[in-house]
Structure 1
Amino acid sequence: MFILYLLIFLFGTIIGSFLNVVIYRLPRNESIVYPSSHCTKCKNELKPYDLVPIFSYIILKGRCRYCGNKISVKYPLVEIIAGLMYLVLFIYFGFSIELLFYLFLLSLLIVIAFIDIEHKIIPNKIILTGLIVGAIFRVLMLNYGVWDYVIGFVLGGGVLLLISLLSGGGMGGGDIKLMAMIGLFIGWKLTLLTLFIAALLGAVGGIILIALKIKTRKDYIPFGPYISAACIISILYGYNLLNLYIKLITG
Protein backbone atom coordinates (compact mmCIF):
# COMPACT_ATOMS: atom_id res chain seq x y z
CA MET A 1 0.00 0.00 0.00
CA PHE A 2 2.87 2.38 0.79
CA ILE A 3 4.27 1.92 -2.72
CA LEU A 4 0.86 2.71 -4.23
CA TYR A 5 0.51 5.84 -2.10
CA LEU A 6 4.02 6.92 -3.07
CA LEU A 7 3.23 6.45 -6.76
CA ILE A 8 0.05 8.50 -6.44
CA PHE A 9 1.98 11.26 -4.67
CA LEU A 10 4.69 11.26 -7.34
CA PHE A 11 2.07 11.32 -10.08
CA GLY A 12 0.51 14.34 -8.38
CA THR A 13 3.85 16.16 -8.28
CA ILE A 14 4.32 15.52 -12.01
CA ILE A 15 0.90 17.02 -12.67
CA GLY A 16 1.89 19.87 -10.36
CA SER A 17 4.95 20.50 -12.53
CA PHE A 18 2.67 20.89 -15.54
CA LEU A 19 0.33 23.12 -13.55
CA ASN A 20 3.31 25.41 -12.89
CA VAL A 21 3.65 25.86 -16.64
CA VAL A 22 -0.04 26.76 -16.90
CA ILE A 23 0.17 29.14 -13.92
CA TYR A 24 3.12 30.99 -15.46
CA ARG A 25 2.10 31.06 -19.12
CA LEU A 26 -1.68 31.43 -19.15
CA PRO A 27 -1.84 34.98 -17.70
CA ARG A 28 0.84 35.98 -20.21
CA ASN A 29 -1.17 34.56 -23.13
CA GLU A 30 1.64 32.12 -23.95
CA SER A 31 1.18 28.59 -25.28
CA ILE A 32 1.33 25.90 -22.59
CA VAL A 33 2.72 23.47 -25.17
CA TYR A 34 5.40 25.42 -27.04
CA PRO A 35 8.19 26.26 -26.46
CA SER A 36 9.48 23.59 -24.11
CA SER A 37 10.26 24.41 -20.47
CA HIS A 38 12.97 27.03 -20.09
CA CYS A 39 14.39 29.43 -17.54
CA THR A 40 12.23 32.55 -17.47
CA LYS A 41 15.32 34.71 -16.97
CA CYS A 42 18.06 33.37 -19.28
CA LYS A 43 15.68 31.44 -21.62
CA ASN A 44 17.91 28.35 -21.63
CA GLU A 45 15.94 25.19 -22.37
CA LEU A 46 15.72 23.00 -19.29
CA LYS A 47 16.88 19.40 -19.46
CA PRO A 48 14.83 16.49 -18.08
CA TYR A 49 17.03 16.32 -15.00
CA ASP A 50 16.22 19.98 -14.31
CA LEU A 51 12.50 19.21 -14.24
CA VAL A 52 12.23 16.45 -11.64
CA PRO A 53 9.47 17.69 -9.32
CA ILE A 54 10.69 18.97 -5.93
CA PHE A 55 14.07 17.19 -6.12
CA SER A 56 15.50 19.38 -8.90
CA TYR A 57 14.71 22.47 -6.84
CA ILE A 58 16.47 20.98 -3.81
CA ILE A 59 19.51 19.77 -5.76
CA LEU A 60 19.88 23.10 -7.56
CA LYS A 61 19.43 24.92 -4.24
CA GLY A 62 16.63 27.00 -5.72
CA ARG A 63 18.73 28.46 -8.53
CA CYS A 64 18.87 28.08 -12.30
CA ARG A 65 21.64 25.71 -13.38
CA TYR A 66 22.60 28.02 -16.26
CA CYS A 67 22.33 31.62 -15.04
CA GLY A 68 22.21 31.23 -11.27
CA ASN A 69 19.04 33.27 -10.84
CA LYS A 70 16.73 32.29 -8.01
CA ILE A 71 13.84 29.96 -8.81
CA SER A 72 10.60 30.92 -7.08
CA VAL A 73 9.66 28.67 -4.17
CA LYS A 74 6.20 28.67 -5.75
CA TYR A 75 7.29 25.88 -8.12
CA PRO A 76 8.06 23.17 -5.53
CA LEU A 77 5.16 24.44 -3.41
CA VAL A 78 2.67 23.79 -6.22
CA GLU A 79 4.20 20.35 -6.80
CA ILE A 80 3.99 19.44 -3.09
CA ILE A 81 0.39 20.66 -2.80
CA ALA A 82 -0.64 18.75 -5.93
CA GLY A 83 1.12 15.57 -4.76
CA LEU A 84 -0.40 15.66 -1.28
CA MET A 85 -3.91 16.53 -2.46
CA TYR A 86 -3.85 13.87 -5.18
CA LEU A 87 -2.95 11.37 -2.47
CA VAL A 88 -5.66 12.64 -0.10
CA LEU A 89 -8.35 12.44 -2.78
CA PHE A 90 -7.17 8.97 -3.79
CA ILE A 91 -7.40 7.76 -0.18
CA TYR A 92 -10.87 9.26 0.09
CA PHE A 93 -12.38 8.13 -3.26
CA GLY A 94 -10.19 5.17 -4.28
CA PHE A 95 -10.02 4.15 -7.92
CA SER A 96 -13.27 5.62 -9.28
CA ILE A 97 -14.71 7.96 -11.88
CA GLU A 98 -15.37 10.40 -9.05
CA LEU A 99 -11.65 10.44 -8.27
CA LEU A 100 -10.78 11.51 -11.82
CA PHE A 101 -13.52 14.13 -11.73
CA TYR A 102 -12.33 15.70 -8.49
CA LEU A 103 -8.64 15.44 -9.41
CA PHE A 104 -9.46 17.48 -12.49
CA LEU A 105 -11.32 20.05 -10.38
CA LEU A 106 -8.44 20.15 -7.87
CA SER A 107 -5.96 20.86 -10.66
CA LEU A 108 -8.10 23.74 -11.91
CA LEU A 109 -8.40 25.15 -8.39
CA ILE A 110 -4.63 25.06 -7.84
CA VAL A 111 -4.08 26.97 -11.08
CA ILE A 112 -6.81 29.48 -10.22
CA ALA A 113 -5.55 30.06 -6.67
CA PHE A 114 -1.94 30.77 -7.67
CA ILE A 115 -2.84 32.94 -10.67
CA ASP A 116 -5.26 34.94 -8.53
CA ILE A 117 -2.62 35.44 -5.84
CA GLU A 118 -0.02 36.69 -8.32
CA HIS A 119 -2.09 38.47 -10.97
CA LYS A 120 -5.42 39.11 -9.20
CA ILE A 121 -7.34 37.55 -12.06
CA ILE A 122 -9.16 34.29 -12.70
CA PRO A 123 -8.73 33.42 -16.40
CA ASN A 124 -11.92 32.76 -18.35
CA LYS A 125 -10.19 29.91 -20.19
CA ILE A 126 -9.87 27.92 -16.96
CA ILE A 127 -13.49 28.59 -15.99
CA LEU A 128 -14.75 27.63 -19.45
CA THR A 129 -12.71 24.42 -19.39
CA GLY A 130 -14.17 23.54 -15.99
CA LEU A 131 -17.73 24.27 -17.12
CA ILE A 132 -17.38 22.09 -20.22
CA VAL A 133 -15.87 19.14 -18.34
CA GLY A 134 -18.34 19.54 -15.47
CA ALA A 135 -21.31 19.60 -17.83
CA ILE A 136 -20.08 16.54 -19.74
CA PHE A 137 -19.57 14.60 -16.53
CA ARG A 138 -23.03 15.48 -15.22
CA VAL A 139 -24.61 14.36 -18.50
CA LEU A 140 -22.71 11.06 -18.35
CA MET A 141 -23.75 10.59 -14.72
CA LEU A 142 -27.38 11.55 -15.37
CA ASN A 143 -28.68 8.59 -13.34
CA TYR A 144 -27.24 10.21 -10.23
CA GLY A 145 -29.37 13.32 -10.66
CA VAL A 146 -28.58 16.56 -12.38
CA TRP A 147 -30.80 19.24 -10.83
CA ASP A 148 -28.72 19.48 -7.65
CA TYR A 149 -25.79 20.52 -9.82
CA VAL A 150 -27.77 22.86 -12.06
CA ILE A 151 -29.09 24.58 -8.94
CA GLY A 152 -25.53 24.60 -7.57
CA PHE A 153 -24.36 26.37 -10.73
CA VAL A 154 -27.09 29.02 -10.49
CA LEU A 155 -26.79 29.40 -6.73
CA GLY A 156 -22.99 29.54 -6.67
CA GLY A 157 -22.76 32.33 -9.21
CA GLY A 158 -26.02 33.97 -8.15
CA VAL A 159 -25.14 34.53 -4.50
CA LEU A 160 -21.85 36.23 -5.32
CA LEU A 161 -23.46 38.20 -8.14
CA LEU A 162 -26.07 39.48 -5.69
CA ILE A 163 -23.34 40.41 -3.20
CA SER A 164 -21.48 42.22 -5.97
CA LEU A 165 -24.58 44.19 -6.98
CA LEU A 166 -25.49 45.11 -3.40
CA SER A 167 -21.92 46.13 -2.54
CA GLY A 168 -21.36 48.11 -5.71
CA GLY A 169 -18.81 45.74 -7.21
CA GLY A 170 -17.23 44.45 -4.02
CA MET A 171 -17.03 40.96 -5.51
CA GLY A 172 -14.93 40.27 -8.62
CA GLY A 173 -16.43 38.80 -11.77
CA GLY A 174 -13.87 36.00 -11.69
CA ASP A 175 -15.02 34.91 -8.23
CA ILE A 176 -18.63 34.85 -9.42
CA LYS A 177 -17.78 32.62 -12.39
CA LEU A 178 -15.57 30.43 -10.21
CA MET A 179 -18.40 29.74 -7.75
CA ALA A 180 -20.77 28.98 -10.62
CA MET A 181 -18.29 26.43 -11.97
CA ILE A 182 -17.81 24.89 -8.53
CA GLY A 183 -21.58 24.64 -8.09
CA LEU A 184 -21.79 22.54 -11.24
CA PHE A 185 -19.17 20.17 -9.82
CA ILE A 186 -20.37 19.73 -6.24
CA GLY A 187 -24.11 20.52 -6.12
CA TRP A 188 -26.08 23.16 -4.24
CA LYS A 189 -25.67 21.85 -0.67
CA LEU A 190 -21.89 21.77 -0.79
CA THR A 191 -21.92 25.03 -2.75
CA LEU A 192 -23.63 26.83 0.13
CA LEU A 193 -21.17 25.26 2.55
CA THR A 194 -18.26 26.32 0.33
CA LEU A 195 -19.50 29.91 0.34
CA PHE A 196 -19.71 29.89 4.14
CA ILE A 197 -16.27 28.32 4.63
CA ALA A 198 -14.72 30.65 2.03
CA ALA A 199 -16.13 33.70 3.81
CA LEU A 200 -14.79 32.40 7.13
CA LEU A 201 -11.35 31.62 5.70
CA GLY A 202 -11.28 34.96 3.91
CA ALA A 203 -12.09 36.86 7.08
CA VAL A 204 -9.46 35.04 9.13
CA GLY A 205 -6.88 35.26 6.35
CA GLY A 206 -7.54 38.97 5.84
CA ILE A 207 -7.15 39.70 9.55
CA ILE A 208 -3.86 37.78 9.67
CA LEU A 209 -2.48 39.54 6.56
CA ILE A 210 -3.40 42.94 7.96
CA ALA A 211 -2.04 42.09 11.42
CA LEU A 212 1.28 41.01 9.86
CA LYS A 213 1.24 44.22 7.76
CA ILE A 214 1.46 42.20 4.56
CA LYS A 215 -1.74 43.93 3.43
CA THR A 216 -3.59 47.06 4.49
CA ARG A 217 -7.33 47.57 4.84
CA LYS A 218 -7.37 49.30 1.44
CA ASP A 219 -5.48 46.54 -0.41
CA TYR A 220 -7.27 44.07 -2.64
CA ILE A 221 -7.08 40.55 -1.21
CA PRO A 222 -7.77 37.78 -3.77
CA PHE A 223 -10.76 35.66 -2.80
CA GLY A 224 -10.09 32.86 -5.31
CA PRO A 225 -7.62 30.97 -3.07
CA TYR A 226 -10.11 30.97 -0.18
CA ILE A 227 -12.91 29.71 -2.45
CA SER A 228 -10.59 26.98 -3.79
CA ALA A 229 -9.56 25.83 -0.30
CA ALA A 230 -13.17 25.92 0.90
CA CYS A 231 -14.26 23.80 -2.06
CA ILE A 232 -11.74 21.07 -1.26
CA ILE A 233 -12.76 21.09 2.42
CA SER A 234 -16.40 20.73 1.34
CA ILE A 235 -15.61 17.81 -0.97
CA LEU A 236 -13.75 15.93 1.74
CA TYR A 237 -15.73 16.82 4.86
CA GLY A 238 -18.81 18.67 3.63
CA TYR A 239 -21.52 16.14 4.40
CA ASN A 240 -20.01 15.37 7.79
CA LEU A 241 -20.06 19.09 8.61
CA LEU A 242 -23.65 19.44 7.37
CA ASN A 243 -24.77 16.44 9.43
CA LEU A 244 -23.04 17.88 12.49
CA TYR A 245 -24.78 21.22 11.95
CA ILE A 246 -28.19 19.51 11.61
CA LYS A 247 -27.60 17.60 14.87
CA LEU A 248 -26.66 20.81 16.66
CA ILE A 249 -29.76 22.73 15.58
CA THR A 250 -32.14 19.80 16.15
CA GLY A 251 -30.68 18.87 19.50
Structure 2
Amino acid sequence: MDYELLIPLIYGLFLGSFYNVVGLRVPEGKSIIAPRSSCPNCGHQLQAIELIPVVSYFIQRGKCRQCKVGISPVYPFFELLTGILFAVAYLLLGWSGELFIALTLISLFIIITVSDLAYMIIPDKVLLVFAGIFIVERIFLPLSPWWDSVAGAVAGFLILLFIALISKGGMGGGDIKLFALIGFAVGFKTMILSFFFATFYGAFFGIAAMLLGFVKRKQAIPFGPFIAIGTLTAYFFGEEILGWYLRFFMLGF
Protein backbone atom coordinates (compact mmCIF):
# COMPACT_ATOMS: atom_id res chain seq x y z
CA MET A 1 0.00 0.00 0.00
CA ASP A 2 1.20 3.51 -0.84
CA TYR A 3 0.96 5.16 2.57
CA GLU A 4 1.75 8.52 0.99
CA LEU A 5 -1.71 8.27 -0.56
CA LEU A 6 -3.16 8.81 2.92
CA ILE A 7 -1.74 12.34 3.03
CA PRO A 8 -3.89 13.84 0.24
CA LEU A 9 -6.81 11.64 1.28
CA ILE A 10 -6.83 12.91 4.87
CA TYR A 11 -6.22 16.51 3.82
CA GLY A 12 -9.09 16.19 1.37
CA LEU A 13 -11.45 14.83 4.03
CA PHE A 14 -10.84 17.75 6.38
CA LEU A 15 -10.81 20.38 3.65
CA GLY A 16 -14.02 18.89 2.25
CA SER A 17 -15.67 19.61 5.59
CA PHE A 18 -14.52 23.22 5.35
CA TYR A 19 -15.63 23.50 1.72
CA ASN A 20 -19.12 22.44 2.77
CA VAL A 21 -19.19 25.40 5.12
CA VAL A 22 -17.90 27.81 2.47
CA GLY A 23 -20.36 26.60 -0.17
CA LEU A 24 -23.34 26.95 2.17
CA ARG A 25 -22.43 30.19 3.97
CA VAL A 26 -20.90 32.46 1.33
CA PRO A 27 -24.05 32.72 -0.85
CA GLU A 28 -25.95 33.88 2.23
CA GLY A 29 -23.32 36.48 3.11
CA LYS A 30 -22.33 34.68 6.31
CA SER A 31 -18.86 34.43 7.81
CA ILE A 32 -17.00 31.18 7.14
CA ILE A 33 -15.17 31.53 10.47
CA ALA A 34 -17.89 32.33 13.01
CA PRO A 35 -20.15 31.15 14.44
CA ARG A 36 -18.91 27.62 14.90
CA SER A 37 -20.68 24.81 13.09
CA SER A 38 -23.93 23.84 14.76
CA CYS A 39 -26.99 21.67 14.31
CA PRO A 40 -29.41 23.51 11.98
CA ASN A 41 -32.35 22.14 14.00
CA CYS A 42 -31.50 22.76 17.66
CA GLY A 43 -28.47 25.06 17.38
CA HIS A 44 -26.20 22.69 19.31
CA GLN A 45 -22.58 23.77 18.69
CA LEU A 46 -20.56 20.85 17.41
CA GLN A 47 -17.65 19.64 19.52
CA ALA A 48 -14.34 18.32 18.19
CA ILE A 49 -15.55 14.71 18.37
CA GLU A 50 -18.49 15.65 16.15
CA LEU A 51 -16.33 17.30 13.50
CA ILE A 52 -14.26 14.32 12.34
CA PRO A 53 -14.99 14.07 8.62
CA VAL A 54 -17.21 11.12 7.63
CA VAL A 55 -16.34 9.21 10.84
CA SER A 56 -18.46 11.42 13.12
CA TYR A 57 -21.47 10.99 10.86
CA PHE A 58 -21.38 7.20 11.19
CA ILE A 59 -20.52 7.23 14.91
CA GLN A 60 -23.61 9.37 15.49
CA ARG A 61 -25.62 7.23 13.06
CA GLY A 62 -26.41 10.27 10.98
CA LYS A 63 -28.14 12.12 13.84
CA CYS A 64 -27.44 15.15 16.03
CA ARG A 65 -26.15 14.09 19.47
CA GLN A 66 -28.38 16.67 21.13
CA CYS A 67 -31.79 16.56 19.42
CA LYS A 68 -31.43 13.27 17.47
CA VAL A 69 -32.70 14.88 14.26
CA GLY A 70 -31.14 13.45 11.11
CA ILE A 71 -28.06 15.11 9.60
CA SER A 72 -28.00 15.56 5.85
CA PRO A 73 -25.80 12.94 4.13
CA VAL A 74 -24.60 15.77 1.88
CA TYR A 75 -21.95 16.65 4.47
CA PRO A 76 -20.12 13.29 4.61
CA PHE A 77 -20.64 12.81 0.86
CA PHE A 78 -18.67 15.93 -0.09
CA GLU A 79 -16.06 15.26 2.60
CA LEU A 80 -15.45 11.79 1.19
CA LEU A 81 -15.62 13.02 -2.41
CA THR A 82 -12.96 15.67 -1.74
CA GLY A 83 -10.70 13.12 -0.07
CA ILE A 84 -11.07 10.65 -2.95
CA LEU A 85 -10.46 13.31 -5.61
CA PHE A 86 -7.35 14.57 -3.79
CA ALA A 87 -6.06 10.99 -3.66
CA VAL A 88 -6.83 10.40 -7.35
CA ALA A 89 -5.03 13.62 -8.29
CA TYR A 90 -1.96 12.41 -6.39
CA LEU A 91 -2.10 9.00 -8.08
CA LEU A 92 -2.25 10.60 -11.53
CA LEU A 93 0.20 13.46 -11.02
CA GLY A 94 2.42 12.46 -8.09
CA TRP A 95 4.21 15.10 -6.03
CA SER A 96 4.51 17.50 -8.95
CA GLY A 97 3.88 21.19 -9.41
CA GLU A 98 0.80 20.46 -11.48
CA LEU A 99 -0.68 18.67 -8.46
CA PHE A 100 -1.22 22.11 -6.89
CA ILE A 101 -3.30 23.14 -9.92
CA ALA A 102 -5.33 19.94 -9.70
CA LEU A 103 -6.03 20.31 -5.97
CA THR A 104 -7.03 23.94 -6.48
CA LEU A 105 -9.44 22.95 -9.25
CA ILE A 106 -10.96 20.22 -7.08
CA SER A 107 -11.32 22.63 -4.17
CA LEU A 108 -13.07 25.20 -6.37
CA PHE A 109 -15.41 22.60 -7.83
CA ILE A 110 -16.45 21.16 -4.46
CA ILE A 111 -17.37 24.63 -3.19
CA ILE A 112 -19.27 25.75 -6.29
CA THR A 113 -21.07 22.40 -6.55
CA VAL A 114 -22.31 22.68 -2.95
CA SER A 115 -23.35 26.28 -3.58
CA ASP A 116 -24.99 25.65 -6.95
CA LEU A 117 -26.96 22.65 -5.70
CA ALA A 118 -28.15 24.48 -2.59
CA TYR A 119 -28.86 27.94 -4.00
CA MET A 120 -28.40 27.80 -7.81
CA ILE A 121 -25.60 30.34 -7.31
CA ILE A 122 -21.88 30.34 -8.08
CA PRO A 123 -20.63 33.12 -5.77
CA ASP A 124 -18.43 35.85 -7.23
CA LYS A 125 -16.47 36.02 -3.98
CA VAL A 126 -15.41 32.39 -4.37
CA LEU A 127 -14.42 32.91 -8.00
CA LEU A 128 -12.38 36.02 -7.13
CA VAL A 129 -10.44 34.20 -4.42
CA PHE A 130 -9.63 31.29 -6.71
CA ALA A 131 -8.77 33.65 -9.56
CA GLY A 132 -6.04 35.09 -7.37
CA ILE A 133 -4.79 31.61 -6.46
CA PHE A 134 -4.70 30.46 -10.08
CA ILE A 135 -2.86 33.60 -11.21
CA VAL A 136 -0.13 33.04 -8.63
CA GLU A 137 0.09 29.33 -9.47
CA ARG A 138 0.33 29.94 -13.21
CA ILE A 139 3.04 32.55 -12.69
CA PHE A 140 5.22 29.85 -11.12
CA LEU A 141 3.76 26.94 -13.12
CA PRO A 142 3.01 28.47 -16.53
CA LEU A 143 1.36 26.59 -19.37
CA SER A 144 3.31 26.13 -22.58
CA PRO A 145 3.03 28.53 -24.31
CA TRP A 146 2.37 30.93 -21.46
CA TRP A 147 -0.36 32.80 -23.35
CA ASP A 148 -2.45 29.61 -23.47
CA SER A 149 -3.93 30.69 -20.12
CA VAL A 150 -5.03 34.03 -21.57
CA ALA A 151 -6.46 32.37 -24.68
CA GLY A 152 -8.33 29.86 -22.55
CA ALA A 153 -9.80 32.55 -20.30
CA VAL A 154 -10.95 34.75 -23.18
CA ALA A 155 -12.39 31.83 -25.14
CA GLY A 156 -14.13 30.39 -22.07
CA PHE A 157 -15.77 33.72 -21.31
CA LEU A 158 -16.84 34.46 -24.89
CA ILE A 159 -18.21 30.98 -25.64
CA LEU A 160 -20.40 30.93 -22.54
CA LEU A 161 -21.42 34.57 -23.04
CA PHE A 162 -22.49 33.79 -26.62
CA ILE A 163 -24.56 30.82 -25.41
CA ALA A 164 -26.15 32.97 -22.69
CA LEU A 165 -27.12 35.62 -25.24
CA ILE A 166 -28.62 33.28 -27.84
CA SER A 167 -30.41 31.23 -25.18
CA LYS A 168 -31.71 34.39 -23.50
CA GLY A 169 -30.58 33.54 -20.00
CA GLY A 170 -30.12 29.80 -20.39
CA MET A 171 -26.61 30.19 -18.99
CA GLY A 172 -25.98 32.01 -15.72
CA GLY A 173 -23.40 34.73 -15.15
CA GLY A 174 -21.63 32.52 -12.63
CA ASP A 175 -21.19 29.80 -15.26
CA ILE A 176 -19.68 32.34 -17.68
CA LYS A 177 -17.14 33.62 -15.15
CA LEU A 178 -16.38 30.09 -13.98
CA PHE A 179 -15.48 28.97 -17.49
CA ALA A 180 -13.22 32.00 -17.95
CA LEU A 181 -11.42 30.96 -14.77
CA ILE A 182 -11.22 27.34 -15.91
CA GLY A 183 -9.81 28.45 -19.26
CA PHE A 184 -7.09 30.41 -17.50
CA ALA A 185 -6.18 27.45 -15.29
CA VAL A 186 -6.14 24.67 -17.90
CA GLY A 187 -5.63 26.43 -21.24
CA PHE A 188 -7.59 26.68 -24.48
CA LYS A 189 -7.69 23.04 -25.65
CA THR A 190 -8.56 21.53 -22.29
CA MET A 191 -11.19 24.22 -21.74
CA ILE A 192 -12.85 23.30 -25.05
CA LEU A 193 -12.84 19.63 -24.05
CA SER A 194 -14.23 20.49 -20.63
CA PHE A 195 -17.08 22.41 -22.25
CA PHE A 196 -17.85 19.43 -24.49
CA PHE A 197 -17.87 16.99 -21.58
CA ALA A 198 -19.89 19.33 -19.34
CA THR A 199 -22.51 19.77 -22.06
CA PHE A 200 -22.63 16.02 -22.66
CA TYR A 201 -23.02 15.19 -18.95
CA GLY A 202 -25.62 17.93 -18.47
CA ALA A 203 -27.68 16.83 -21.48
CA PHE A 204 -27.49 13.16 -20.50
CA PHE A 205 -28.56 13.86 -16.92
CA GLY A 206 -31.29 16.29 -17.99
CA ILE A 207 -32.84 13.85 -20.45
CA ALA A 208 -32.59 10.94 -18.03
CA ALA A 209 -34.07 13.00 -15.18
CA MET A 210 -37.01 14.09 -17.35
CA LEU A 211 -37.69 10.55 -18.53
CA LEU A 212 -37.65 9.33 -14.94
CA GLY A 213 -39.88 12.20 -13.80
CA PHE A 214 -37.35 13.80 -11.44
CA VAL A 215 -37.43 17.15 -13.24
CA LYS A 216 -40.00 18.86 -15.40
CA ARG A 217 -39.52 20.16 -18.92
CA LYS A 218 -37.78 23.59 -18.94
CA GLN A 219 -37.05 23.27 -15.20
CA ALA A 220 -33.75 24.97 -14.31
CA ILE A 221 -30.94 22.58 -13.43
CA PRO A 222 -27.67 23.79 -11.87
CA PHE A 223 -24.91 23.52 -14.48
CA GLY A 224 -22.02 23.99 -12.04
CA PRO A 225 -21.73 20.31 -11.06
CA PHE A 226 -21.55 19.27 -14.72
CA ILE A 227 -18.89 21.90 -15.40
CA ALA A 228 -16.93 20.40 -12.50
CA ILE A 229 -17.24 16.81 -13.73
CA GLY A 230 -16.57 17.79 -17.33
CA THR A 231 -13.48 19.81 -16.48
CA LEU A 232 -11.96 17.11 -14.29
CA THR A 233 -12.62 14.55 -17.03
CA ALA A 234 -10.88 16.78 -19.58
CA TYR A 235 -8.05 17.75 -17.25
CA PHE A 236 -7.13 14.23 -16.13
CA PHE A 237 -8.16 12.10 -19.12
CA GLY A 238 -8.79 14.47 -22.04
CA GLU A 239 -5.65 13.59 -24.00
CA GLU A 240 -6.31 9.84 -23.71
CA ILE A 241 -9.99 10.18 -24.63
CA LEU A 242 -9.17 12.45 -27.58
CA GLY A 243 -6.46 10.06 -28.77
CA TRP A 244 -8.82 7.11 -28.53
CA TYR A 245 -11.53 9.00 -30.41
CA LEU A 246 -9.17 10.03 -33.22
CA ARG A 247 -7.82 6.48 -33.59
CA PHE A 248 -11.36 5.08 -33.67
CA PHE A 249 -12.47 7.72 -36.17
CA MET A 250 -9.49 7.11 -38.45
CA LEU A 251 -9.91 3.33 -38.32
CA GLY A 252 -13.58 3.76 -39.10
CA PHE A 253 -12.66 5.32 -42.40
TM-score (norm 1): 0.95
Structure 1 match to 2:124: 124
User: What is the SS of the residue equivalent to 2:214?
Assistant: coil
Q: CA deviation at 1:123?
A: 0.4
Structure 2 match to 1:60: 60
Structure 2 match to 1:198: 198
1:207-218 to structure 2, matched below 5 A, reads 207-218=207-218
Report Cα offsets for 1:70-102 as digits up to 9, x if no partner.
111100000110011010000011112211221
1:98-247 to structure 2, matched below 5 A, reads 98-142=98-142, 144-247=144-247
Runs of 4 or more above 6 Å deviation: none
Structure 2 match to 1:36: 36
Q: Report the residue type matching 1:179 in the other structure.
A: F
Write the distance in 2 (CA, Å) between the matches of 1:93 and 1:196: 23
Structure 2 match to 1:82: 82
Write the distance in 2 (CA, Å) between the matches of 1:191 and 1:26: 26
Stretches of structure 2 that go unaligned for 5 or more consecutive residues are none
Q: CA deviation at 1:221?
A: 0.7
User: What is the SS of the residue equivalent to 2:87?
Assistant: helix
Q: CA deviation at 1:143?
A: 7.5
User: What is the SS of the residue equivalent to 1:77?
Assistant: helix
Structure 2 match to 1:92: 92
Write the distance in 2 (CA, Å) between the matches of 1:197 and 1:232: 9
Write the distance in 1 (CA, Å) between the matches of 2:226 and 2:111: 13
8 A contact 2:98–2:141 mirrored in 1: no
Write the distance in 2 (CA, Å) between the matches of 1:154 and 1:250: 32
Report Cα offsets for 1:206-226 as digits up to 9, x if no partner.
012112211101210111110
Q: Does 1:16 align with 2:16?
A: yes
User: What is the SS of the residue equivalent to 1:19?
Assistant: helix
Over the aligned positions, Cα root-mean-square deviation in angstroms equals: 1.5
User: What is the SS of the residue equivalent to 2:46?
Assistant: coil
Structure 1 match to 2:72: 72
Q: CA deviation at 1:11?
A: 1.9
User: What is the SS of the residue equivalent to 1:61?
Assistant: coil
Equivalent pairs: percent with the same residue? Answer: 38
User: What is the SS of the residue equivalent to 1:213?
Assistant: coil
Q: Report the residue type matching 2:40 in the other structure.
A: T
Report Cα offsets for 1:173-212 as digits up to 9, x if no partner.
1111111110011000010001111111011100121122
Q: CA deviation at 1:249?
A: 4.5
